[in-house]
Structure 1
């Protein structure tokens, strides 16, 4: 009976190996991306699925000492997909990193995963680069930038944080706004240590269009504030390519160059906005990414075929050098809900 059971196990493994033989010939590539050298440890995950009809015990084997499987053995049910957490110890590593995880069972290789990353050199003088303060942390970036997406999307962002507060910071069991999911690569961050904050922002119909800035407050389990981090993102409506008899927004220019203008002067131009569709065009919102770029508009609803002139002003007060600013026009155009117009200028100082 024991011989029969052993034979069945071997047969199951052989069948599983055969079913994944095409995958096993090639590495499944996990692109980690760029890792700041100061982080010390990078945390990630990969997934493996048992495509057979039998339960299989697998072992996860790395081929480099810097690559560590945080759990090495799994009992995987038929058709089950398991998450395999891993970490890369970046200390002493600079440049391109490439290493493999091998999935085995009873000594047979079932799959391979190639882990690829680029590790930056640690910054020797941290305070020169990590100059934005969110006590007890410092960061390279001024904020957590989720960039842009459509309403209903989940947006992603990350930021490396350096603890200069004088003591360890405990980020276990933290609380924050329910629209976010936040993971710290290191949850107990020692003084002069680093952690990588990865965040997801879940948006829904309660979010409004346009550019947003807000704050994430990170509290401990007792409700005490640990630190505050500014965030920004832009939300657009998702295009609808099937809607007929709809408004369509058109502008006569998508980029304007004020060219060389003197510091503290004001440049101006005009943009013609036209509804080339077949129903009323509603200009819901117009946003500038700088207080220096303003506009005037006489109406925000255009009948089919109607146009309106928008006057745009660039104020070069206390500015110098190359400037690139934008106006984002949000409308009910179902195919292109957001139109961005770019404005450029080269601001010269007096007597230059």
Structure 2
């Protein structure tokens, strides 16, 4: 009986010691609500990441749930007891209503290899809409074509709508490089009318 108790105590102590020398990611805050923001506003919030373990914590990846959200830690490696800031930026352009976005943090913490931060907001149209101005609302702001073979031509159609109370006139549309082209369905949209932009990767 004494031997069994001694062996159990040694095993238990070994497990506790092993956990103490492992890296451990701690989030001082896992959620943040920006409240009401105007469409087009870019808002930021800084989260604090800490290593409360006994070994080097390595942050291998920080992935936002959509292109409207960006996040990057100031440091990717934290020694025991060290902390770093993670600033999350949300771009509300083309968004409306309640928004919930997440940021997934991957690290070498054996107990929690993936942890998630959540940000929320309620995007409202700017007050100018009541004066009779046009307002463009884009349902998607980015698209990933994935792997494209050399020589292949692919395209994707984005949709937008005029949610204002007067005609929306689009004077120009440009792409960032000569490898892409954009085709506009209409350059004059009445209130409530939908339009499309077909983007071609050449």
Class of the TM-score when normalised by the shorter of the 2 chains:
0.5 to 0.7
- Residue in 1 that maps onto 2:48: 272
Of structures 1 and 2, the larger Rg is shown by 1
Q: Which residue of 1 aligns with 2:63?
A: 287
Is 1:251 the equivalent of 2:30? no
With normalisation by structure 2, the TM-score equals 0.53
Q: How many residues align?
A: 112
Q: CA deviation at 1:299?
A: 1.3
Distance in 1 (alpha carbons) for counterparts of 2:32 and 2:74: 21
TM-score by length of 1: 0.31
Q: CA deviation at 1:296?
A: 2.8
2:116 counterpart of 1:340: yes
- SS at the partner of 1:323? strand
- Asked if 1:311 corresponds to 2:101, the answer is no
2:107 aligned with 1:331? yes
Unpaired stretches in structure 2, ≥5 consecutive residues: 1-14, 130-202
Q: Distance in 1 between matches of 2:51 and 2:122?
A: 32
Q: 302, 309, 318: which one pairs with 2:78?
A: 302
Deviation at 1:311, TM superposition (A): 1.0
Within 2, Cα distance between the matches of 1:275 and 1:296?
17
Query: Hey, what does 1:172 align to over in structure 2?
Result: none
SS in 2 for 1:264: coil
Q: Aligned runs of 1:186-201 on 2, under 5 Å?
A: none
Which structure shows the higher strand fraction?
A: 1
Question: 1:256 deviation in Å?
Answer: 0.5
User: Which stretches in structure 1 are left out of the alignment for 5+ residues?
Assistant: 1-240
Residue 97 of structure 1 corresponds to none
Asked if structure 1 preserves the Cα contact closer than 8 Å seen for 2:63 and 2:71, the reply is no
Higher relative contact order (CA 8 A, sep 6+): 2
Kept in 1, the 8 Å contact 2:22–2:109? The answer is: yes
TM-aligned CA deviation for residue 290 of structure 1: 0.7
Shift in Å, 1:265: 0.6
Distance 2:74 2:104 in 1: 17
What do residues 57-113 of structure 1 show as CA deviations (whole Å, max 9, x unaligned)?
xxxxxxxxxxxxxxxxxxxxxxxxxxxxxxxxxxxxxxxxxxxxxxxxxxxxxxxxx
The one of 91, 95, 98 equivalent to 1:322 is: 98
Structure-to-structure mapping, 1:120-159, within 5 angstroms:
none
Deviation at 1:297, TM superposition (A): 2.0
For the aligned residues, what is the CA RMSD? 1.5
- Runs of 4+ that moved beyond 4 A: none
Q: Secondary structure of 2:70's partner?
A: strand
